[in-house]
Structure 1
Amino acid sequence: MIGRLFSLVIDCPDPSELAGFYEVMLSLPRVVDTTDYVVIQNTTGNETVTFQRVDDFRAPRWRHPDRPSQMHVDVMVDDLDLAEPKVLALGATLLEGSDKPIGYRVYADPVGHPFCLLTRESVMPGE
């Protein structure tokens, strides 16, 4: 092993606002809060997401060659139909073209970063 994952860092125009979205969706409390970055983290410190201010932020577009997403977050849920209205109420958007296949759905967070809600059967079929 060379190292361990410390944090997923997400660029955004307003770290506090975007952190609030993920704070609720992932149930991770805010542990650092500055104007330039916000950190949410579980109590053991092994699940950390950092939101970093980028003044000239340009939102990615799902499957768009001129503004690629470059990465996205997968969030495991027990039931897609129960989780979907909750993330939509937080400000997520179901991305156009998502056909809601069994096991996962693709969304954008409030500033346009794509993320998927997925269930265990989408990553471990037949279990």
Structure 2
Amino acid sequence: MIGTLELLIIDCPEPQKLARFYSELIGAEIVGFDTDWAEIVPPGGGRPIIAFQQVERYTPPRWPSQDVPQQMHLDVKVEDFEVAEAAVLALGATKAGSETPTFRVYLDPAGHPFCLIMPGD
């Protein structure tokens, strides 16, 4: 195991609105809320958390066409970036060229983005 699933993140134009929708749909609790980000947890709390992130000029997916594909990614919490990076690259991931002190973005073998993230304080 390289890390643990931390978040499923869904791109959208209005995070608060979508969080409210899914909160009502699955009986989840809204636990994080600001202008460009919202988070919900399922009944009973804990993990997994679903997060909604605002994307400017959002274009919704076209189902079932892949002209505009589905827009979400996984955050995987790791203890050591260097060890985790070596492991995901060995599995076939590639660097996406985007990183900060708290996360690094990669592409899976099919081109889907995912992030390795460091635990919060």
Q: TM-score interval w.r.t. the shorter chain?
A: 0.5 to 0.7
Distance 2:26 2:8 in 1: 13
Distance 2:52 2:33 in 1: 10
SS at match of 2:6: coil
**Greater relative contact order, per chain length (Cα 8 Å cut-off, separation 6+):** 2
Structure 1 ranges of 4+ moved more than 4 A: none
Distance 1:54 1:70 in 2: 10
TM-score between the two structures when normalised by the length of structure 1 = 0.51
Amino acid at match of 2:6: F
Q: Structure 2 stretches of 5 or more lacking a match?
A: 73-121
- 1:70 shift after superposition: 5.9
Does the aligned pair in 2 maintain the 1:32–1:39 contact within 8 Å? yes
For the aligned residues, what is the CA RMSD? 1.6
Go from structure 1 to structure 2 and tell me whether the alpha carbon gap of 1:38 and 1:69 turns closer, same or farther (over 3 Å shift).
Answer: same
TM-score between the two structures when normalised by the length of structure 2 = 0.54
Does the aligned pair in 2 maintain the 1:38–1:50 contact within 8 Å? yes
Amino acid at match of 2:59: R
- 1:45 shift after superposition: 1.8
* Percentage of identical aligned residues: 41
Go from structure 1 to structure 2 and tell me whether the alpha carbon gap of 1:70 and 1:41 turns closer, same or farther (over 3 Å shift).
Answer: closer
Distance 2:51 2:68 in 1: 22
